[in-house]
Structures are given as C-alpha cells and as structure tokens.
Chain A
Amino acid sequence: MGEKVKVSIEQIFVVMLLSRLFITLTDIPPIIGSMEVTDYLFRVLFFILLVFISAIPVYLTVKNDTNANILDRCVCISPIFGKVVAFIYGITFIYVIIATMARFDMFATSIIFPKTNFTGFLVIIILACMFAAILGIESISRSSTFIFVVFLVSFLAVVFSVYKKVDFLNFSPIFYNGAGSTIKAAFISMPRTFELAAVLMLMSKIKGNIKKGMTFWIIGMGLFQTVIIFLMVGVMGDYMKTQLIPAYTLSVVAEYGFLQRMDVLLTSTWILCVYIKVSVMIYLFKDCMKTLISDKYDNLYIIVSSIIVSVITLFLNPKAYSINYLLNPIIPLVLYSLTVIAIPCIVLISEKVKDVKNYEK
C-alpha cells in the first residue's frame, strides 16, 4: 500500500502549475452576458475562491492519510468500489488528455501552423509524453523544473516588454452589468483544474507538506492569472474581446527594440506545458489501470492509453464541433465534481464510519 516517497512537494507544485498554466494561457474569454474587461480580472478572484472551496475534500483527504493514494484507500473500503473509482479517474484522465490535445490543436491550427495538417505533430507529442510517462513521475517532475525556468524567463520577457503599454483608461468599472456573469465565468473555469485530482492520485509519492504545497499552488496559479489578465486588459482593452486567444495577442504586441517576435518565445514554452500535462495524465491513467485490471502490466497501460488517445485525437482532429463538445463546461464539471469533491467525500465518510465501528468493537 504505502509507496516509497519519491517526489518533493516543490516539484509537484511546479508540475501542477505548468499543467494548469496551459489552460490559462489558451483561455478563450467566455462570451457570457455582458462582462466588461475588468470583470475578467475579478473572475480570477472568484475562480480562486471556488477552487479553494472545492479543494476542501482534497485537503481533508490529504490531512487524514498520505501513505496511500485515493485508489488504495477506496480499495480498503471495498475492492469493487476501488475498481469503480479507478475507472472514473481513468476516464477523467483520458478526457483531460483529449481535451488538452483538442485545445492545443485549436490553438496551433489557428495561430502557429494555420495551413498545416497538425495531426502528425499531435501524435508525435503524445508519443513523447508516452516516453516521459514510462520514465516515471520523477523524471517528469525533474524536466518540469527545467521547463518552469524557461517558461518563467519567457514570461518575464513578455511582461517586461508590455508593462509600459498598460493604459489604465482601458479598464472598465467593476461589475458594471452586475457580478452574475463574472461568477458564472469563474464557475466554468473551476472544473478545468483537474490537477487537484492528480494530487489525490500522487499523494503517496509526495515528500513534504502537501496542504501547504496545494495552498501555494492555488495562490501561485491565481497570481499568474492575475498578472496575465491585468496586462491583457491594460494593454488591449476591449480589443481582447475580439481575439480568440488574447494571451497570444499580448505576446504579439510585446515588442522590445529589435526583439519583435516575442510570441515565438512564449508559444514554444506553451508546447512544453502541454508535454508536462499530458505526460502526468498518462502516468496517472496507468496507476488507475493498475487498480482496475492488474499490477503486472505497468508500461503496457501507458502504451495502450497513448494509442487510444492518438486514435481519438486523429478522429476528432478535423471536426471542430467535436472539439467544441470536448471543451463544453458540462463534462468537466461532472468529472470534476466526481473526482475532486464526491469521491474524496465518500472516502472520508466511509473511513470515519469504519473508525467508529472499529472503536465500538
């Protein structure tokens, strides 16, 4: 049950940050009601608040025991329940991979390679992620530390070159058309934070204070989002509403002296964020399959999952409606509610009941 401690909380914090940042950077501003530009900044505040609230079951699960991951604890309650949970988590991680690839495909075919058939490149990325997942979470977290440094440098370069272009007149009054649309938008963003489910799966492999790490991660994620949206609103104003991926447009206008193509610098690191996210999810899928089927075939699950994801990606690629379907907020909301809120709550209640029964005996 208890697995050997392998990865430090700092490394996991970096992995989760990079994984979520890709979603933040390729965020498409929601067309909800009549949100004004400054409301996007407040959406982050509500988003962080919602993530903190929804993470309470995860906090409690981590507080009770970190020697076994969520699946092991479910198996202890009931082997069948353990398999059902493993199936739900497995489906969730596969969904996250496909949704990430769909999002990346949409971003790349709209901006990086508009006229190129991108399918081959997507498959190459999945294969690279498969290789990383075979090497294990230690190697993924080690490479993420390096990627984080590269990302931070490119991000700071963009921030440095655009901060002078911020015009405070581009900001709008707060909640001019009410706060309803902003809260709704935050509610749509929240279930895209599947990294919390990853924490439940990885907790037995993490060395350090997980609760503290999670708090730092949520605050760090909020800070990054705040800086990005502050710059987007300050520099672009209402123009950001006309753009598919405003964070990319921000990198396009980030010109400093002879350095005129900062977008290339930033987008190259975004690909690395995708690599980290997909690698971790494939790795976690493998853990789910180990509980669901058998412990024997460690790498086979990784290879099979990569093939499944590649096939689905190939199938979905030309169909824009499928991508829209995948990015639909209902599916992530259901999966998020199950994996981050419902299952940890069931585990906590079951363990409590078991403890009370044992005490009574």
Chain B
Amino acid sequence: MRAGLKRFARNRMAVLGAVVLLLVLVLVLIGPVVYPQGAFAITGKPMQPPGGGFLLGTDTLGRDVAAGIALGARTSMLVGVASTCVAILLGAVIGGLAGYYRGWVEIALMQVTAFFQTIPSFILALLLVAILSPSLTSEIIAIALVSWPAIARLVRGQFVALGGREFVLACVGLGAGDARIIFRHLLPNCASPVIAVGSLLIATAILLETGLAFLGLGDPNLMSWGLQISAGRAVLRQAWWVCTFPGIAILLTVLAINMVGDGLNEALNPRLREG
C-alpha cells in the first residue's frame, strides 16, 4: 500500500488531479463561511454579468452564481462519496458472497447483477428517484443502486482468484470460520482494486447527480451544480455565465477524480504495473 502511494506520487496527471480535488474540498469547507446567506438568497439584480459586483455574475432571480458553485460543491461531493460508499458496501457483500460460496449462490447473485447492468443506469436512477420522491437520501440510494454491479463483479473475481490461494486453505486448516476468512483475509486483499474502481465511481455518481438535478429530480432545498445549469438553460444566450461556470466546475471535478482514480488504479493494481 505504501509502495503504491509512492508510485501514485510519480504519476504527474494523478497528482494534478489530487490538487484540483483538494481545492474542491477546500471550497466545500469554506463555502458556508464565505457565503453565510446561503445559495438561494437573492443578493442583487438579476442577470448581472461576471466581474461586476459579483465574481461570477447573478442568475435570473438575482442569486449569486459563485455562492451556488461554492455551496453546490457540497451537494455534489456528498452525493458522490455517500452513494459510492453504499455501492461499495452493497457490491462487496453481493460479490463477496457469490465469490466465496460459488455454486447456486453465485449463479443467482450474478444473474441479479447482470439484470441491473442491462438497464441503462441513468434511466433506472431517474425511475428510482421518481418513485422515492426527490430528496438527498433518495438521490444517494438511487445512485448507489445503479452503481454497485461494477463493484460486485470486481469483488467476486477477486474472491474467486484468492479463494484458490494456499493462505486461505491454511486458514481453513487452522479451523477458521467463513466470517473470519472473508473479513480478515479476503476483503483486505481486494482493498486495492476496490479503492481504485471506487474512486472512479465517485465521478460517475457526481455526473448522475447533476443529471438528476438538471431534470428537477434533485433535492429542491439544496443548491447543486445540476440545478444551477437547469435554472440557467432558458437564458443561455442572454446570460451565458449562469450555465457555464457550474459546467466548468463539474468538468474540473470529474476530470480530477478520474485522473486520481486512474492514478490509484495504476499504482494499486498489480496487473497494470510493469515489471
């Protein structure tokens, strides 16, 4: 793991991504301090261009775009990280059970996984949020429910590969139970690839969240980048800044997470490592 971090540090793109990501996190932390009035407060005249009284201008209702971006970062990161955590938990349990017990358990669970993968994830997420009624929790649940199959397949593959290793057999020989073998030995040994794939999932989750918010299925009480773009799309030609800056924020964040994820994948995945 430590050697993996060293390899990560040698990858310039990944380090650049990490720096951008760190800036986004700083934004999440200082946002409420810099903009104590909140993102929905009407602070000035509508549709002011950037550079005047407001750094990034104001939207159709006179709300500060910069405040929206700073406070919307929180929603994006929260949904991204929380839904990925739930997806990893769900995927690890399902993939782990399938990979450890094999046989009919594996067939059944992998069929369910395949079923989820056949439905386009955005449509499914849309449907789930519509059923659950739009809120932060239902967004997280919906995104987690469409993201876990990738993790499940990965964990299952790892378990199958590790299950044949002699150290697992040695544990059985010591009299270890299933729980001990799964939690103490198998799961820690697939941590590296799961971290790598999970970090990429965060980026996908943020994009999904933006898409949901754009369609008005986000939490109506929370500012988010998707909501900002949605609000500004009608005035795209008169007030380009309302859509553009949240769009750039999404682009930079997702790109940064992808670069970090690729870096982690290369650093932690032994198969991609060159001799």
Are A and B a genuine interacting pair, yes or no? no
